[in-house]
Amino acid sequence: MVEEPPHKPSLLERLTHWLHHEPENREELIAILHQALERNLLDTDALSMMEGVLGVADMQVRDVMIPRAQMDVIDLQSSPEQIIPFLIETTHSRFPAIEGNKDNVVGILLAKDMLRFTAGLPFQIRDMLRPAIFVPGSKRLNVLLREFRTNRNHMAMVVDEYGGVSGLVTIEDVLEQIVGDIEDEYDFDETEDNIVPEGEAQFRVKATTELEDFNSFMGTHLHSNGVETLGGLVLNQFGRMPKRGEQIIFAGLKVKILRADSRRLHSVSVTKLNPDSPSS
**Of the ranges 8-17, 90-99, 211-220, which one carries the lowest mean pLDDT score?**
8-17
The per-residue pLDDT for 272 is 92
More confident residue, 33 or 66: 66
Helix (H) or strand (E) holding 108: strand 101-110
SS3 assignment, position 83? helix
More confident residue, 124 or 134: 134
- When mean pLDDT is compared over 114-128, 181-195, 218-232, the highest value belongs to 218-232
Please give the Cα distance from 59 to 46 (Å, whole number). Answer: 20
Q: Give the rounded distance of the alpha carbon of 172 from its chain centre.
A: 6
> Fold identical between 63-179 and 195-272?
no
The per-residue pLDDT for 190 is 47
Give mean pLDDT, residues 172-199.
Answer: 68
CATH superfamily, with its number, for domain 63-179: CBS-domain (3.10.580.10)
Please give the Cα distance from 90 to 72 (Å, whole number). Answer: 8
pLDDT per position as a tens digit, 241-263:
888 788 999 999 999 998 876 65
For the chain, which residues make up each domain, given as ranges? 12-58, 63-179, 195-272
The per-residue pLDDT for 179 is 73
Report the first-to-last Cα separation within the chain, whole angstroms.
80
Q: Give the rounded distance of the alpha carbon of 110 from its chain centre.
A: 18
Whether residue 5 has pLDDT greater than 50: yes
Give mean pLDDT, residues 193-216.
Answer: 89
Residue type, 119: A
Write down the CATH number for the domain with range 195-272: 3.30.465.10
Residue type, 123: F
pLDDT band of 188, cuts 50, 70, 90: very low
